[in-house]
Amino acid sequence: MEQLELLRMLEQVQGGELSPQDAVLKLRMQPFEDLGYAKVDHHRGVRQGVPEVIFGGGKTPEQIIGIAQSMQRQGGHNILITRLDEEKAQAVSQQLELDYHPMARIGIVGRLPEVTAPGYIAVVSGGTSDMPVSEEAALTAQALGNRVERLYDVGVAGLHRLLTHMDLLMGARVVIAVAGMEGALASVVGGLVSCPVIAVPTSVGYGANFHGLSALLSMLNSCSSGVSVVNIDNGFGAGYQASLINHIGGDHL
Amino acid sequence: MEQLELLRMLEQVQGGELSPQDAVLKLRMQPFEDLGYAKVDHHRGVRQGVPEVIFGGGKTPEQIIGIAQSMQRQGGHNILITRLDEEKAQAVSQQLELDYHPMARIGIVGRLPEVTAPGYIAVVSGGTSDMPVSEEAALTAQALGNRVERLYDVGVAGLHRLLTHMDLLMGARVVIAVAGMEGALASVVGGLVSCPVIAVPTSVGYGANFHGLSALLSMLNSCSSGVSVVNIDNGFGAGYQASLINHIGGDHL
Amino acid sequence: MEQLELLRMLEQVQGGELSPQDAVLKLRMQPFEDLGYAKVDHHRGVRQGVPEVIFGGGKTPEQIIGIAQSMQRQGGHNILITRLDEEKAQAVSQQLELDYHPMARIGIVGRLPEVTAPGYIAVVSGGTSDMPVSEEAALTAQALGNRVERLYDVGVAGLHRLLTHMDLLMGARVVIAVAGMEGALASVVGGLVSCPVIAVPTSVGYGANFHGLSALLSMLNSCSSGVSVVNIDNGFGAGYQASLINHIGGDHL
Amino acid sequence: MEQLELLRMLEQVQGGELSPQDAVLKLRMQPFEDLGYAKVDHHRGVRQGVPEVIFGGGKTPEQIIGIAQSMQRQGGHNILITRLDEEKAQAVSQQLELDYHPMARIGIVGRLPEVTAPGYIAVVSGGTSDMPVSEEAALTAQALGNRVERLYDVGVAGLHRLLTHMDLLMGARVVIAVAGMEGALASVVGGLVSCPVIAVPTSVGYGANFHGLSALLSMLNSCSSGVSVVNIDNGFGAGYQASLINHIGGDHL
Amino acid sequence: MEQLELLRMLEQVQGGELSPQDAVLKLRMQPFEDLGYAKVDHHRGVRQGVPEVIFGGGKTPEQIIGIAQSMQRQGGHNILITRLDEEKAQAVSQQLELDYHPMARIGIVGRLPEVTAPGYIAVVSGGTSDMPVSEEAALTAQALGNRVERLYDVGVAGLHRLLTHMDLLMGARVVIAVAGMEGALASVVGGLVSCPVIAVPTSVGYGANFHGLSALLSMLNSCSSGVSVVNIDNGFGAGYQASLINHIGGDHL
Amino acid sequence: MEQLELLRMLEQVQGGELSPQDAVLKLRMQPFEDLGYAKVDHHRGVRQGVPEVIFGGGKTPEQIIGIAQSMQRQGGHNILITRLDEEKAQAVSQQLELDYHPMARIGIVGRLPEVTAPGYIAVVSGGTSDMPVSEEAALTAQALGNRVERLYDVGVAGLHRLLTHMDLLMGARVVIAVAGMEGALASVVGGLVSCPVIAVPTSVGYGANFHGLSALLSMLNSCSSGVSVVNIDNGFGAGYQASLINHIGGDHL
Amino acid sequence: MEQLELLRMLEQVQGGELSPQDAVLKLRMQPFEDLGYAKVDHHRGVRQGVPEVIFGGGKTPEQIIGIAQSMQRQGGHNILITRLDEEKAQAVSQQLELDYHPMARIGIVGRLPEVTAPGYIAVVSGGTSDMPVSEEAALTAQALGNRVERLYDVGVAGLHRLLTHMDLLMGARVVIAVAGMEGALASVVGGLVSCPVIAVPTSVGYGANFHGLSALLSMLNSCSSGVSVVNIDNGFGAGYQASLINHIGGDHL
Amino acid sequence: MEQLELLRMLEQVQGGELSPQDAVLKLRMQPFEDLGYAKVDHHRGVRQGVPEVIFGGGKTPEQIIGIAQSMQRQGGHNILITRLDEEKAQAVSQQLELDYHPMARIGIVGRLPEVTAPGYIAVVSGGTSDMPVSEEAALTAQALGNRVERLYDVGVAGLHRLLTHMDLLMGARVVIAVAGMEGALASVVGGLVSCPVIAVPTSVGYGANFHGLSALLSMLNSCSSGVSVVNIDNGFGAGYQASLINHIGGDHL
């Protein structure tokens, strides 16, 4: 119940059209969201063409289609489906117009939105094996209305590759640093730029990598200030957080 | 060597005042920083009264004083010293004018700077035992020129305490969520607000808390989007990144 | 040897029909259970139509059928088979009348029993991916004679969904809280209700979830009182203990 | 705002004494608790003489005294302070009438309440080193209005000690099983009784005990049904949960 | 070089048939084994019909056949092949006369030897899922010349099953206790018998079992004296160690 | 109730001196131990002068004295107290005649018993820092009636030191291998001898030793057959099991 | 930009052919590598016939072929492809002349180079299951211009096998010790030789091996000096570093 | 027994001065070392003035003095004592002429030896808190006859500090990279230089650093080739292996 509706209801009580007893009942029955406590970007999303998000992992194609169609009925024109493997994507695309990105395992129902944030997000990654996670981050950010600059395969084993593109890094409003193995990229990037860095450890590696643990711990212990971390392989989370930051203080919002 | 200096040197070469050979030598000898690749906020800090930071943990009072005095010689008027226990603080305060905050274990040489960012940062914490880390975050943010609103002891075991202050949360540009034990606060806050949340797991707890591991894993696996995480007990890191985010797009910068 | 049998035997000794020596031998040979130390619900189950339980994981269909038939020969009319995948279920159903629930991976031989406990158990879960474990808990509780109310997909990322159903939660005698990822649901529910909460961490998630470790640690460290925890993905265990609690002090028993 | 107050307010709107606009404001400003969503036992506690609880660990004596006095001002006559070491207890007892139990590290302000639950809770423990945690559980349960039977030093290395007291175990409504080292007690007890078992792993042990991890994992993996687990050394949590269970369906409530 | 050969060589030096220089060379070239330091049971095995052992895991059928045939050429009549899955067993049995035990994944080339040790080894296991590891232990012990008594499915959840067979347990010279999940069986058995107990944790379980870690830690922390532990699922190791112990002081050796 | 007593009671039933009903009651009340299921070495110990054992860790001097005096009242002449630090030892020795071994942290009340087993136990250790654990093992074994040969400081970094003493190793009936750091000693010894090896990992080391974890895992994964493992630093457990093994088949028992 | 080019450019500035402003621009645009900071072996490799390396794991055959062909275009005649499974190898070999080693999962485009280092590298391994990793190390070293001596299946369970080949070990300039399970080989070898030992833990084992963790920790805690460690199963890394060491101070370079 | 002595003994046999039987006995009694299998640098050390090493951690001052004096009696003029805290150092220095370095916790009895290796070792470290471990490495290397160049406080958060000293790095024969927290320094250095890098993780850090685990895993997973790793805080081990490498192929040896 939005404030306006609440006001209308109270005016009905004032005008005698609604008894106080019924008003109590109605207030108790109202979903909490209606009282104004809920997260506003649910509504904002619909207004601005920013997509709703479905986490496709562990859902059947039928469940995904069902949720997406329900979103569409509620007016959602852009829907982002993450962790969507190729087989599921095929099943989904038989019922929905789907723009599928196999490397990022992302499907987009509808078109990518306009850019709604002033700056750009740089997505930097260590090696070619980190590209799926990097693309998940990059496409998520694009789907949320951001301009994205990609800077891939610039791992710290060949530092000059990174340093060559300092200008691109320095110009970003947020940097997403994606790296597996020892995850040193986050610290090095964090030491070079003065904007926030969102670090994404990947599970790329083997042995004492322990499925991404080495990169995760490395990034959490970064000696560079200004670095925060999301879950292993969570490109979506990084893209989402970076988008929130990139939209801060912009005219477009 | 800043661009201007580089230009000057090249003009000397042009004008015959400097031989190409000597220029080569000079370029090779220049610290990398001088070529313009270095992090600019080192200099920005000095210009803007934003403090330099000394990590006091594992340093002797003598080392701290030495570094601080060297910073002062280079023009640093505000110096933030973190992880400074009371005993060291006393030793340091005999040589430097120190504003010491025992709970946050933070010492500030000089005064807190003016507010230089448009919005405010909300620091939310679960229990009274999380206050030292929360205060480290809050004071760091203040020392970096941010307005900070504190909302302490609003753990999820008593959800109404948190919900009562929704307005304060919803108005923030960034939220720092500090919690130990199961760290659920980050997810709950992340589900309520639409701005970036920086989660700080604390080592508060015992047993299967494993010195903060439970809160750390909990926060990394948050089902709420828009949450990123810093190291256990790293109030400073959260305050620093929140400040970076809060300063984005502001007029003050 | 039940007390009555023991009494009969001693009367035989008294009556001279059995020598003390033979009685000693008989007592030593008796299974411990017969001396009255054993868990009574083995017998209670048979009397009350509450099913016997077979853990189907790691057993062949032949073993499952064999155990079930042996139970039937001993008078068991309702048998609950957990962790029964579809392939095994098909094999089992060729020999036994099986009511199979694929999502919960539960098969029931015979019908669900009457409700034998006064209140109801609320099964609350975080996301749709937690449904298999939730259903295992719910069906187990039903198979043990409980009324169950399901409240699914009410994760803490959208708190209003949970708060909307407070009445259902508040009316329960026991709540089973099922959640993966960061497992914050247990703490939030534990902070809202005043009945016991049995928390079930699930292995839903990825990366630093470490196959359910994050939810497990989170739930063990819950800042809410009244929460205890079972093994990761152990819906059966939660349903079983919730049933024990729900049957306490009831007229039906 | 309780339902009655809400009704009164709406009647004021109806009667024109309060404008709808002001009512909206008032509703938004109300603490969530007042809308009826909050945990009722907060109030119930005060009514019934059941103590409020202060977690003393990580709090200064001053903080403890402050919180306790604030509770007293709100009508709390019985206050349970856990994790209160001797030094702090002495400081607290200078300002409050404190009944201190050094082994359990529990302090009680006021007297133990009457027994308010029908059955009794059995607290069973493995070795003498587990007594502090066992006593924390037992005293917590007593402070919450339960009759408690203690059965200490009955570890599985000498099974006969446990079996000798089967009657006491079998008569309990809830059993709290406290054990360190390999924590096998929980499984053995769980296999003997037919009531719920709350297992408390303790950090007693050394080496591959890893501060209670071995007992924790052991208890979580119990092959006996009806066992749930609280955090390592969390005697309070077990006593609290057992009390909730013991009070179910009782006339006293 | 055995002592006799060494003596012969030195006599050759004494007799002038071998120069000291050549003797030095010969001594340096001798395999260490020849000097008498090597493990004698290599030879003993061949003499006594005790089988040689091939760890089949991670070896190709060709490698297994090759090693076995080489052993046969050196006089080995009984060869024990462990961790031999069915597919490999079929391939091996085409070239060697193989007695294959699928549950234990053990193949024996030749016949089981005579019993060569005085007492018997009791193999006790918790559940039916532990049978593969139990059988690996039992068959290994039999293949090494021991009488073995099996006592399966006597987990601590139903203690009476174990207590019913106390005589069998008490008569053993060594007990091998095999259990997964919480591994409590080792402690309970260790508390009942007065002979050495070799505990074998199995990977049976799920969730916080962590592939056998819970049982392993549980057994290492056993509160019963007289228990030592082998690797997770290492039935062979337990059977081997038990055989060494069972052969101590016997007439047969 | 021993068999004789049971027989007497049944004769009373036969003779009419005891009613069957009262006999049932009496049987139910009997401690389990009396039915003959209990561990016999409790009694054997007292008969043979083998000491009772008190785990001194985590017990107060008063508790230790109390338990010891109770043992003495029951006829125990030799009592072994492990994990007894010097301060406690002093307190205990004021009330009991104590033979204290500070390095092993072992106190013996009474004298070391006669040797009651045929062979000897070799205690082999890696470095001087492993001596406390080694001595705990050695003294435990001596206190249980074994001859012990010590072979200290023969770590694998200097293999020749170990090989020099092959005869002593080869002659033992059981070897206890004590090592910290990488724990390789157990494998090397296991590969050299043909008797059972009890491996004791110690917490000696630093860094990735993780308080003994490296040695523990190393020993559990030993590629040598015939090695079983006790808890980290559990010298007592190794000495105890070695004694059980050493006493097997001996004339002395 | 090499020094010569830099000099030329500055001479152009001196000669007025290039404005200082354009020179500044050019300097900023130059890849960092050109300023002389880059790793020289990139160039050295091409000059000396030492192969470039492609990590084949996680790359598609198309990506591998693409990178290899790009290397060939830049003059690379020898290319080492690691972690190349058989299926990929077949695909790659259809486009490139590939010498494939299935056990080591290594493919070499072009021929093995001449030996360019003075001494030889000994690759020592514990068991036959360690051969794939050992061969990866050995072939890597050969591909980098080293003479390699292999000494396989000399695990510490049969120490004499290792001691028999002391001469081969003692003559090496570097030893690579490859072992799974408990990894004791590294310590034993480290105690025997006086040259650097590079230890490679393998994931060979099961249970408490935890995928190579036991061997890794064991090797990191080696009590022998002169041992350093690479990642689990990282044969390539060991071969590469051994080659660097073996080339030190040699005439061939 | 060195070869010469062996030859002498055999000549005695040849000459009839020694019976073959007595020679057999003598050979069996000889320490293994004497047969030529032992590590030669034990003797080399004494000849060349390279110090013997005592690991001071966990040893009493008396033990240290005893070992050192025994070394001196055997001709050792330079003795390196590591992990020697100040208190012990004072005690030791009362009996031995000790050159104590408090930061490195190293004591040297006698003088630092001449430089015996051709190149130099660069010790690079991340932060000032890493200095104790760095100094342990540096002083160890110096004590073993190496020239050492120190490059401290060049962590990756300020990359330019490291890049400024590229020449020093590029000229080294071996680099020791010492870093705590995320340990990224090893990868960055490994990517810059073409000589072997020995990485030393330190326990500097807090929280998810887990006492050096983050740096350790980071270094083991380095994406740069040519990096191997020693134990956490093991400056000595790094210095020792670096010295072995630095002495390879040198004229001085």
- H103-135 pLDDT, tens per residue? 999 999 987 888 988 899 999 998 888 999 999
pLDDT of residue A203: 95
Rounded Cα distance between H45 and H55, Å, is: 17
Contact G32 A163 (CB under 8 A): yes
User: Is the confidence at residue C37, as pLDDT, over 90?
Assistant: no
The interface residues of chain F toward chain G in range 123-152, judged by CB-CB distance below 8 A, are 126-127
How would residue E25 be classed by pLDDT, with cut points 50, 70 and 90?
low
Which of F6, F16, F28 is the closest to C14 by Cβ? F16
Give the pLDDT band (50/70/90) at residue E236.
Answer: very high
Q: Do F194 and E250 touch (CB under 8 A)?
A: no
Q: Look at E25-39, G60-74, H48-62 and tell me which has the smallest mean pLDDT.
A: E25-39
Lowest mean pLDDT among B21-30, C38-47, H59-68: C38-47
DSSP state of F227: E
| B241 has a pLDDT exceeding 90 | yes
Q: Confirm or reject contact between D94 and chain A (CB < 8 A).
A: no
pLDDT tens for residues D212-245? Answer: 999 999 999 998 889 999 999 999 999 999 999 9
Whether the pLDDT of residue H68 is over 80: the answer is yes
F10-42 tens-digit pLDDT: 888 888 888 887 776 666 444 333 333 322 333
Q: Which of H160, H161, H207 sits opposite B234 (nearest CB)?
A: H207
C127/B181 Cβ within 8 A: no
d(Cα H40, Cα H244) in Å, to the nearest integer?
Answer: 13
What is the average per-residue pLDDT within B54-79? 82
CA distance to partner chain F, nearest, from residue C42 (Å) = 20
Contact exists between D and G (3 or more beta carbon pairs < 8 Å): no
The more confident residue out of D22 and H43 is D22
Is residue A188 over pLDDT 80? yes
Q: How far apart are CA F46 and CA F73, in angstroms?
A: 11
Retrieve residue B214's tokens.
């439970």
Q: Which two tokens stand for residue F67?
A: 């338990």
What is the Cα–Cα distance from A168 to A162, expressed in whole angstroms? 10
H244 at the F interface (CB within 8 A)?
Answer: no
pLDDT, residue B51, reads: 64
Task: For chain H, say whether G103 makes contact (Cβ under 8 Å).
Answer: no
Residues D68-107 pLDDT 10s: 888 787 666 788 999 999 999 999 999 999 999 999 999 9
Q: Does B37 touch chain A (CB under 8 A)?
A: yes
Nearest CB to A207; choose among G33, G38, G233: G233
Give the Cα separation of E105 and E102 in Å (integer). 5
Half-sphere exposure of F148 (CA within 13 A, CB side): 28
Q: How confident is the model at residue B100 (pLDDT cuts 50, 70, 90)?
A: very high
| Chain-chain contact of H218 with A213 (C-beta, under 8 angstroms) | no
Q: Tell me how far apart the terminal alpha carbons of chain E are, to the nearest angstrom.
A: 25
E176 touches chain D (CB under 8 A): no
Q: Is D47 helix (H, G, I), strand (E, B) or coil?
A: helix
**pLDDT band at residue D50, thresholds of 50, 70 and 90?**
low
pLDDT higher than 50, residue A139: yes
At a CB cut-off of 8 Å and minimum separation 6, what does C148 contact? Answer: C120, C121, C122, C123, C138, C141, C142
pLDDT of B106 reads 95
Q: Do H194 and G44 touch (CB under 8 A)?
A: yes
Contact residues, chain B, for C222 at CB < 8 Å? 157, 181-182, 184
* Proportion of chain E above pLDDT 70, given as a percent: 84
Query: Do B32 and A160 form a contact (C-beta atoms < 8 A)?
Result: no
- The answer to whether B163 contacts A248, with C-beta atoms less than 8 Å apart, is no
Chain C nearest CA to A232, separation (Å): 5
Chain C residues whose CB is inside 8 A of the F17 CB are none
From the CB of residue A90, how many other CB atoms can be counted at a distance below 10 Å? 12
* In chain C, alpha helices (H): 3-14, 20-29, 41-48, 61-73, 86-93, 131-143, 159-163, 166-170, 184-192, 213-220, 235-246
What pairing do the DSSP bridges indicate for beta strands C174-179 and C227-229? Answer: unpaired
User: What is the rounded CA–CA span in Å between residue B43 and residue H101?
Assistant: 37
Are G11 and B20 within 8 A, CB to CB? yes
Question: What would the mean pLDDT of F147-175 be, rounded to a whole number?
Answer: 86
Q: Are G151 and G122 in contact (CB under 8 A)?
A: yes
Phi, psi for C85 (deg, rounded to 5): -75, 170
- Tokens, residue D224: 């006996």
**C-beta atoms surrounding E44 within 10 Å:** 12
Write down the pLDDT at residue D13.
86
The residue behind tokens 């562990």 is A58
Q: Which residues pair with H99 in a beta bridge?
A: H108
Instruction: Choose from G125, G202, G217 for mutation: most chain F CBs within 10 A.
Output: G217
Where does the pLDDT of residue G60 fall: very low under 50, low under 70, confident under 90, or very high at 90 and above? confident
Is residue A59 less than 8 Å (CB to CB) from chain C? yes
For A201, the closest chain C residue by CA position comes to: C207
Cβ–Cβ contact D203 with E under 8 A = no
Query: Could you give the C-alpha distances from G103 to A208, B48, G131, in angstroms and in order?
Result: 22, 62, 8
pLDDT at D38 over 50: no
Q: What is the pLDDT of residue A110?
A: 82
- Provide the token pair at E76: 């080995």
pLDDT above 50 for G200: yes
Mutate which: C5, C10, C27, vs F, most F CBs within 10 A: C10
Angle ∠(H57,F165,H82) on CA atoms, nearest 5: 15
Min CA distance, H163 vs chain F (Å)?
Answer: 30
The fraction of chain F above a pLDDT of 90, given in percent, is 51
Taking the Cβ of residue B14 and every Cβ of chain G, the question of whether any pair is shorter than 8 Å is answered with yes
**CA dist., res. B76 & res. B63, Å (int):** 17
CB contact under 8 A, A6 and D19: no
What is the spatial distance between Cα B169 and Cα F150, in angstroms, rounded to a whole number?
68
Q: Do C228 and D198 touch (CB under 8 A)?
A: yes
What is the overall mean pLDDT for chain C? 83
Whether G244 has its CB under 8 Å from any CB of chain E: the answer is no
User: Is the CB of residue C164 less than 8 Å away from at least one CB of chain F?
Assistant: no
pLDDT of residue F107 exceeding 50, the answer is yes
- Between residues C166 and A88, which one has the greater pLDDT? A88
Please state, in angstroms and rounded to a whole number, the distance separating the CA atoms of residues G135 and B15.
62
Contact C14 F10 (CB under 8 A): no
Most confident region among A36-40, C14-18, F143-147 by mean pLDDT:
F143-147
E strands, G26-117, are 52-55, 79-82, 98-101, 106-109
- Residue H91's region, left for phi above 0, alpha for psi from -120 to 50, else beta, is alpha
Task: Say if the Cβ atoms of B10 and G16 lie within 8 Å.
Answer: no
Tokens of C17: 């029909």
Q: Give me the residues paired with residue D82 across strands.
A: D55
Position E5 scores a pLDDT of: 67
* B contacts of H161 (beta carbons < 8 Å): 31
More confident residue, E182 or E45: E182
Using CB atoms, list chains with 3+ pairs below 8 Å to chain H. Answer: A, B, E, F, G
Q: Are E216 and E183 in contact (CB under 8 A)?
A: yes
pLDDT for G111 beyond 90: no
The predicted pLDDT at position D197 comes to 97
Query: What span, in angstroms and rounded, lies between the C-alpha atoms of H2 and H127?
Result: 48
For residues E125 and E122, give the distance between their C-alpha atoms in angstroms, rounded to a whole number: 10
Q: Which residue has the tokens 């750390």?
A: B216
pLDDT of amino acid A245: 95
Whether C207 sits inside 8 A of A234 (CB atoms) is: yes
Q: What pTM, to 2 d.p., does this model score?
A: 0.86
Check B231 against H160: CB less than 8 A apart. Answer: no
Candidates D188, D225, D232, D240, partner chain C, best to mutate (most C CBs within 10 A): D225
Q: Which residue of chain E has the CA closest to F191? A: E39
The answer to whether the CB atoms of C207 and A231 lie below 8 A apart is yes
Asked if pLDDT for residue E54 goes beyond 60, the answer is yes
Whether residue E66 is predicted with pLDDT greater than 50 in this model: the reply is: yes
Question: Does residue G41 carry a pLDDT above 70?
Answer: no
More confident residue, H9 or A201: A201
* Residue C158 touches chain D, beta carbons under 8 Å: no
Question: Taking CA A196 as the corner, what is the angle to CA B235 and CA A131, rounded to the nearest 5 degrees?
Answer: 120
**pLDDT band for position E251 (cuts 50, 70, 90):** very low
State whether E241 and F196 contact (CB < 8 Å).
yes
Contact G116, G250 (CB under 8 A): yes
What is the reported pLDDT for F173?
Answer: 95
Residue B18 region by backbone torsions, left for phi larger than 0, else alpha for psi between -120 and 50, else beta: beta
Which whole number is the average pLDDT over B224-246?
96
Q: Min CA distance, C59 vs chain E (Å)?
A: 7
* Cα maximum dimension of chain F: 77
Look at the block and give the residue holding tokens 């054990």.
D179
Eight-class DSSP state of H211: G
| Greatest extent of chain H over all pairs of C-alpha atoms, in Å | 76
Cβ-defined contact of A207 to H213 (cutoff 8 Å): no
| Closest to C157 measured CA to CA, from B223, D162, F66, E106 | B223
Q: How far is B163 from chain A (nearest CA, A)?
A: 8
The pLDDT assigned to E250 comes to 59
Per-residue model confidence as pLDDT tens digits over C182-205 = 999 999 999 888 899 999 999 999
Neighbours of chain B (3+ CB pairs under 8 A): A, C, D, G, H
Tokens at H212, concatenated: 């050096």
Q: What pLDDT does G219 receive?
A: 96
Q: Residue A134 CA to chain centroid, in angstroms?
A: 12
What distance in Å separates the CA atoms of residue D228 and residue C177, rounded to the nearest whole number? 13
- How far D16 CA lies from chain A's nearest CA (Å)? 6
Angle between helices A213-220 and A184-192 (to 10 degrees): 30
Q: Percent of chain A at pLDDT above 70?
A: 84
List the single residue in G with minimal CA-CA distance to E36: G160
At E24 the pLDDT is: 67
Report the neighbours of F using a cutoff of 3 or more CB pairs below 8 angstroms: C, D, E, G, H
Instruction: Centre a 10 Å sphere on the Cβ of residue C164 and count the other Cβ atoms it contains.
Output: 19
Distance of CA H148 to the CA centre of its chain: 13
Q: Would you place residue A226 in the very low, low, confident or very high pLDDT band (cuts 50, 70, 90)?
A: very high
pLDDT of residue B27: 63
